Amino acid sequence: MPHQSYLPPPCHCTAIRQAARQVTQIYDRHLAPAGLRASQFSLLRAVRRHEPVGMQSLAEICVMDRTTMSRALRPLERDGLVNVSPGSDARTRLVQLTPTGLSLLEHMAPAWEQAQAEFERRFGVDETTGFRAMLSRAVVQMA
Q: Report the CATH number at residue 43.
A: 1.10.10.10
- 101 falls within a domain: yes
Confidence (pLDDT) at 3? 56
Evaluate the CA torsion angle 45, 58, 11, 127 in order and state its sign.
negative
Mean pLDDT, residues 82-100: 92
Confidence (pLDDT) at 88? 85
- 67 falls within a domain: yes
Q: Would you place residue 99 in the very low, low, confident or very high pLDDT band (cuts 50, 70, 90)?
A: very high
- 56 falls within a domain: yes
pLDDT at 17 over 60: yes
- 50 falls within a domain: yes
Question: Which residues fall within 8 angstroms of residue 34, CB to CB, at 6 or more apart?
Answer: 104, 107, 108, 111
pLDDT at 51 over 70: yes
Range of the domain at 103: 19-142
- 6 falls within a domain: no
Question: Which residues fall within 8 angstroms of residue 101, CB to CB, at 6 or more apart?
Answer: 44, 47, 76, 80, 81, 82
Mean pLDDT of the chain: 92
- 27 falls within a domain: yes
Confidence (pLDDT) at 89? 86
Evaluate the CA torsion angle 98, 102, 108, 109 in order and state its sign.
positive
* Nearest C-alpha neighbor of 39 from the set 8, 78, 71: 71
pLDDT at 18 over 60: yes
Mean pLDDT, residues 85-111: 94
- 116 falls within a domain: yes
H helix runs in 1-143, sequence order: 12-31, 38-50, 55-61, 66-78, 99-123, 125-142
H helix runs in 35-65, sequence order: 38-50, 55-61
Please tell me the distance from the alpha carbon of residue 120 to that of residue 99, in angstroms, as a whole number. Answer: 31
pLDDT at 132 over 60: yes
Confidence (pLDDT) at 116? 95
- 12 falls within a domain: no
DSSP state for residue 80 in the 8-state scheme: T
Q: Please state the domain count of the chain.
A: 1
Mean pLDDT, residues 6-32: 89
- The larger pLDDT score, comparing residue 44 to residue 8, is at 44
**pLDDT tens for residues 27-37?**
999 999 999 99
